[in-house]
């Protein structure tokens, strides 16, 4: 599930003239929002803030007073400039958004640090409004090292060799969790899952569970040679249903950290973890048409007639009356095609209740997905070759 999380915090950079890192609490459901709530339009006040790809990342300071091509002069003019620059005519600002905020956003939307034609930041994602700026270019300095792996993401002269978890992302061991850095390393090298502390700290128990799932269930899939970013965000675990989430605008997932961890792994963690990885696989290896194609194979939808161009097309998001001839692995899979796919993803990898013909369904789905993985060239693999991975 791509969930909304109220009262979940996130590290945000305030672009000011003073080089400090501010930690801000974002109350609401913008960064951690579901597909449906993003699709419904602008939900919260627009901010000129930058998402921190990892704690203490250093961003170039851009003064809010810095003028772009020309001073917009008015809020309406600034909105038109942002629409023209992004190509998204659906962009709009909140009632309380100031001209200064829009000017600041424009400053960042124009940035292309490595002059490769890819803007550094974005305020829209696949036609959806974001509340603040998130990375658009995965490699700001064009040094072939992805931003989150790069301790100096804006300095092309410094080229670290990535053969293990970079020093700037290492989780420091504690007296209670002395082996947590070893777990982080194994997750990265064996599974391509990079656990990063963010507004929360990863727990030893959940990383151990993630590694076990990776080495057992995920091993049934073809090796994708991709890197899955897995942040620890405050707010997960506040209730039993908020253990993890996938964030398409970041191409990353997040899981429960230590803040709301009660000392024992939640019994639903494994399946929730796999479910969110299912969302990652959707965006990383499939096209919108692929999603309709596999759903039609299981008679969840009729034969594919339309060709959606976006994963946020209503045909993929809307809740329809379940097809009485379709196969739904769980009641929740009837919500929409995104959730159906992720529930099928879990179903095919956790065969705890397989009965014929369910076993045949699982093999059919898994075979189809492995073909898609082999066909794709994931963008996240650029900084870690298969020869560097244990698996």
Long-range contacts of 172-180 (CB under 8 A, 24+ apart): 176/204, 177/203, 177/204, 179/204, 180/204, 180/207
Regarding whether 281 and 373 lie in a shared domain, the answer is yes
Regarding whether 17 and 103 lie in a shared domain, the answer is yes
The angle at the Cα of 114, spanning 110 to 116, to the nearest 5 degrees, equals 80
Regarding whether 181 and 91 lie in a shared domain, the answer is no
Residues of the chain with pLDDT under 70: 1-45, 62-70, 238-241, 303-305, 351-357, 377-391
Tell me if 5 is assigned to some domain.
Answer: no
In this prediction, residue 305 carries a pLDDT of: 65
d(CA 28, CA 18): 27
d(CA 207, CA 216): 14
Alpha helices in the chain (DSSP H): 35-39, 75-86, 99-109, 180-186, 204-216, 269-285, 288-297, 314-317, 337-349, 358-375
Please report the DSSP string for 30-66 in residue order.
STT--HHHHHT---S-----EE-SSTTPPPPP--TT-
Tell me if 4 is assigned to some domain.
Answer: no
Regarding whether 131 and 191 lie in a shared domain, the answer is no
In this prediction, residue 338 carries a pLDDT of: 95
Regarding whether 218 and 126 lie in a shared domain, the answer is no
Tell me if 23 is assigned to some domain.
Answer: yes
Tell me if 3 is assigned to some domain.
Answer: no
d(CA 314, CA 24): 33
The domain total for the chain is 2
Tell me if 144 is assigned to some domain.
Answer: no
Distances, alpha carbon 260 to alpha carbons 55, 151, 234, 256, 272, in Å: 20, 29, 8, 7, 16
Domain end: 118, 135, 152, which one? 135
**Quick one: which of 166, 158, 168, 200 has its CA closest to 185?**
166
Distances, alpha carbon 249 to alpha carbons 143, 307, 349, in Å: 23, 22, 26
Regarding whether 249 and 106 lie in a shared domain, the answer is no
Q: What are phi and psi of 116, to 5 degrees?
A: -100, 5
Regarding whether 191 and 107 lie in a shared domain, the answer is no
Residues 245-265: tens digit of each pLDDT: 999 999 999 998 988 877 777
Regarding whether 221 and 103 lie in a shared domain, the answer is no
Give me the domain span that covers residue 25.
10-135
pTM of the model: 0.82
Regarding whether 23 and 112 lie in a shared domain, the answer is yes
Regarding whether 177 and 116 lie in a shared domain, the answer is no
Tell me if 17 is assigned to some domain.
Answer: yes
Tell me if 202 is assigned to some domain.
Answer: yes
Which is it for the CA torsion 227, 200, 44, 110, positive or negative? Answer: negative
Regarding whether 190 and 120 lie in a shared domain, the answer is no
Regarding whether 188 and 111 lie in a shared domain, the answer is no
Tell me if 19 is assigned to some domain.
Answer: yes
Residues 53-106: tens digit of each pLDDT: 999 898 887 655 555 556 788 889 988 988 988 888 888 887 778 888 888 888
Residue 308, domain CATH: 3.40.390
**211, 359 contact by CB (below 8 A):** no
């Amino acid at each position: 599930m791509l969930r909304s999380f109220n009262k979940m915090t996130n590290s945000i950079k305030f672009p000011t003239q003073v080089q400090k890192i501010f930690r801000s609490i974002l109350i609401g459901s913008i960064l951690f929002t579901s597909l449906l709530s993003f699709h419904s339009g602008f939900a919260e006040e627009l901010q000129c803030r930058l998402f921190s790809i990892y704690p203490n990342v250093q961003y170039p300071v851009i003064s809010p007073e810095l003028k772009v091509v020309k001073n917009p002069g008015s809020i309406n003019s600034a909105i038109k400039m942002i629409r023209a620059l992004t190509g998204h005519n659906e962009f709009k600002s909140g009632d309380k958004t100031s001209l200064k905020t829009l000017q600041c956003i424009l400053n960042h939307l124009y940035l292309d640090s490595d002059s490769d034609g890819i803007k550094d930041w974005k305020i829209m994602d696949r036609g959806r409004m974001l509340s603040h700026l998130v990375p658009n270019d995965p490699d700001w300095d064009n040094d072939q090292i992805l931003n989150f792996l790069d301790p100096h993401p804006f300095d092309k002269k410094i080229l670290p060799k990535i053969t293990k978890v970079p020093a700037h992302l290492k989780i420091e061991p504690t007296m209670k969790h002395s082996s947590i850095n070893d777990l982080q390393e194994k997750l990265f090298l064996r599974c391509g899952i990079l656990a990063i502390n963010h507004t929360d700290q990863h727990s030893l128990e959940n990383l151990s569970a993630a590694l076990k799932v990776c080495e057992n269930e995920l091993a049934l899939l073809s090796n994708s040679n991709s890197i899955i970013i897995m942040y620890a965000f405050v707010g997960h675990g506040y209730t039993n249903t908020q253990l993890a989430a996938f964030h398409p605008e970041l191409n990353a997932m997040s899981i429960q950290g230590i803040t709301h961890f009660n000392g024992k792994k939640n019994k639903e963690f494994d399946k929730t973890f796999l479910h969110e990885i299912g969302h990652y696989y959707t965006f990383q290896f499939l096209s919108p048409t692929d999603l309709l194609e596999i759903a039609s194979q299981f008679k969840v939808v009729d034969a594919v007639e339309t060709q959606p161009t976006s994963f946020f097309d209503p045909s993929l998001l809307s809740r329809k009356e379940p097809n009485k001839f379709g196969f739904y692995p769980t009641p929740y899979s009837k919500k929409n095609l995104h959730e159906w796919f992720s529930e099928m993803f879990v179903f095919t990898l956790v065969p705890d209740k397989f009965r014929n013909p369910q076993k045949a369904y699982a093999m059919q789905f898994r075979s189809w997905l492995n073909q898609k993985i082999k066909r794709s060239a994931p963008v996240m693999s650029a900084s870690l070759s298969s020869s560097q991975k244990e698996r």
